Amino acid sequence: MADTTDDGSVRLQPDSSETEILVTTSIIALVLASTLIGEQPAPPARPHVVVDTIAARPDDVATIDGIVKAFYEVISGPAGQRRQWARDRTLYRPDVRFVAMSVRNGKPVARVMSHQEYVDGSDAGFVKDGFFETEIHRDVQQFGNMAHVWSTYESRQKADGPAIDRGINSIQLYFDGTRWWIAGAVWEDERKDSPIPQRYLKK
């Protein structure tokens, strides 16, 4: 559309539908821009690993030695090999809690996990890169039907490879008259400023 000014010149007027389109387009652009600026990409979801329910192996749970041996065997294996998560779960109370200790910015950090959370967070890396954890020293304290195992470990990516980590597993157990159960486990890797005391290493 067009009209004339006082001096007779032509003044163009935009069509109302064109104005509405321009306004709508501008609003959409602003909304998209603000969304992209404020929105951060969500971290990739950890894959959920299905853990079958099976009966415990009698040799795994009849003694403290048997259950600690199984504790290490189930997570160890070469790259490409599935871990024994179903067997692993038979070692623990259903409400077991794991605590992985670390230090960040000079402060202790405790990462508390259920068995399923530990499996979901560990399985892919274990299978992709290979992981072996072996016990190199054990200190057992037992009274009646309860026990505490202070188990020093070394971690490797290959069975015959160099150690990539050392640390201590603190394992709490109890005997119910039929079998041993792991009630909880806390672990921490050795650090330069926190070496493993000699009494918890090989003699």
Q: Is the pLDDT of residue 19 over 50?
A: no
This prediction has a pTM of: 0.78
185 bridge partner residues = 98, 171
Cβ neighbours of 44 (radius 10 Å): 6
Which residue carries 């602003």 as its tokens? Answer: 30
Phi, psi angles (nearest 5°) of residue 197: -60, 145
Q: What is the token pair recorded at 143?
A: 């009274």
Give the residue-averaged pLDDT of 171-177.
Answer: 98
- Kindly give, in sequence order, each residue whose CB lies less than 8 Å from that of residue 48, ignoring residues fewer than 6 positions away: 120
Calculate the CA 16 to chain-centre distance. 58
Q: Is the pLDDT of residue 14 over 50?
A: no
Which class is domain 58-200? alpha beta
Phi, psi angles (nearest 5°) of residue 105: 55, 35
The structural domains of the chain, with segments of one domain joined by +, span 2-38, 58-200
Residues of the chain with pLDDT > 70, as a percent, come to: 78
pLDDT band (50, 70, 90) for residue 42: low
Q: How confident is the model at residue 197, as a pLDDT? A: 96
pLDDT tens digit sequence for 75-125? 999 999 999 999 999 999 999 999 999 999 999 999 999 999 999 999 999
Give the residue-averaged pLDDT of 48-75.
Answer: 98
Q: Is the pLDDT of residue 181 over 90?
A: yes
Q: How confident is the model at residue 202, as a pLDDT? A: 79
Dihedral sign for Cα 30, 32, 36, 42, please: positive
Helices (H), 44-201: 58-61, 64-73, 85-89, 115-129
